[in-house]
Structure 1
Amino acid sequence: MSDTEKAFKTTVELDKFIDELRYANEKELPMLVAKNVLAFDTPFWLRLAARADICGSNDEKKDYENLAASIMTVVEKVVRKTEEKIESSTGVLESILEPITQEDEEIIWPPRDLNGIVEMKKVLELKEKKGFLDEGFLSAVTAQIRQARESGDKPGLVAILQKVLQLYAAHILSKRSYAMKDGQVVKAEMFLETIISADEDSWETILRGGLVYGGGDVEPEDLFNVLKKRVERVNMRTESGSYQQRVLLEYLKEIEERAEAVVQAFKTSTI
């Protein structure tokens, strides 16, 4: 497709969107704007201005001016609400990190007192119960991790924020147990739930002791099968593409990768 064809296609799409906005009623317009808030970029405003300039009457031109004003009002409200959510999420995050925050507001990682992690977990679970750990919170934490990685000079902060997401994932995934079926214990499910609820630092020890290679009673294949089922349940019960889905799946993926490494180590040692 040539540049001319691309430009024409873009113009057609913008005109279609502008017409949709023009004919939306007072109730539909705010929802339409909020849903497409990222679409109001420079090309959009230039096309809207061009449409206004070629109007056949002053009344029609006035309609475009009113439309532009209405869009700007909604966009400003959406931006302000987003900023408030980020600010609120930052406050929630600070309260979760408070148990490991020093008097000078510096956070030492890993914490000198491991009880700090336990207290972090308690605060996080309380905040989740009250509904504070929503998509806004998860997106804010994820954004801070990305920023810390990009800066490259805050590895400790990345580890701290990742721990928050791990605690969140462990809490959510532990809410429902699949370890009992028809009155019988499903060993692999119980083993997985033990890993999920444990601190990441103890995963390797648990895996080595629980798998048959290390004297346990869980076959690696059984563990990987229940991990697969848990992933399927997460995909079914969370919104596709949501931060919650992403965080839970990443946590399960970490467990799977750690299990694969342990199994490989056992196999290598027996060769």
Structure 2
Amino acid sequence: MKVAKRREEMLEAVNAGITNVEALCSHFRISEATARRDLAALSKSGLLVRTYGGAIAHIGPFERELTLEQRRSQHGDVKACLAECALDFILDNETLLLDGGSTTAALASRLSERRGLHVITNNLVALPWLANLPDGHVTVLGGDLRTTSMSTYGPLAHNALTRLTVDRLFLSADGVVAEYGLCEASPEQTWLKEAMMQRAAEIYIMADATKLGRASQQHWASLPRRWTLITNANDPAQLEAFAKRGAVIYSTDAYFDRTGQ
């Protein structure tokens, strides 16, 4: 089969749901190297989106990544609400893993309300709040500096994670789509998120309503089989789509109704 024809059919296969390299190799009876070259070419043409281990259909226009200051200034009150809800899950003397991002940094600002925490993070923005944890301990994941989010990533961070396990992981993302997972601007971010999920007993994704269904970037981390979505969204149909993907929904509205705040 000629290359152009195979790539045309590969695009159709990805759009039909054959999204990982192994399945594409079997379907087209080609080597992994050939499949990856074809996917790279289709991605470069803007016809699909590369993911860790495969590809997905192109599902929307991409947005310019926000700066750190822009992230900090957006939806600050909502992030504070999400942080308060997330704190409700955390017990004294637990080991936590905090992802990069302004939403998880908001959670870091509340962790002094617990004692004896061991917090592991690649989120450099969170460090001023973590410096004074009561009876606490902080481990910073090393690696390359990503200045747009002031977080670390790369092989050193991955290597450190292989030697750690945690009680609870708290993640944020540029977007969360039930069918695809967590979207970010770089593959390194999504690979690190997936590595984090493999090391956690409990996984929490903190996402305000504007993040749900938002495919603003081109790289994706798959959702785990079992996780908790902490959100202020209240669209039943939208939330049901996440529940079908293994999520327990924890609503800020329900939390504040219960606590009377």
TM above 0.5, one fold? Answer: no
TM-score (norm 1): 0.24
- Higher-RCO chain (CA-CA 8 Å, sequence separation at least 6): 2
Comparing both structures, which one devotes a greater share of its residues to strand?
A: 2
Comparing both structures, which one devotes a greater share of its residues to helix?
A: 1
TM-score (norm 2): 0.25
Q: Which of the two has higher C-alpha Rg? A: 1
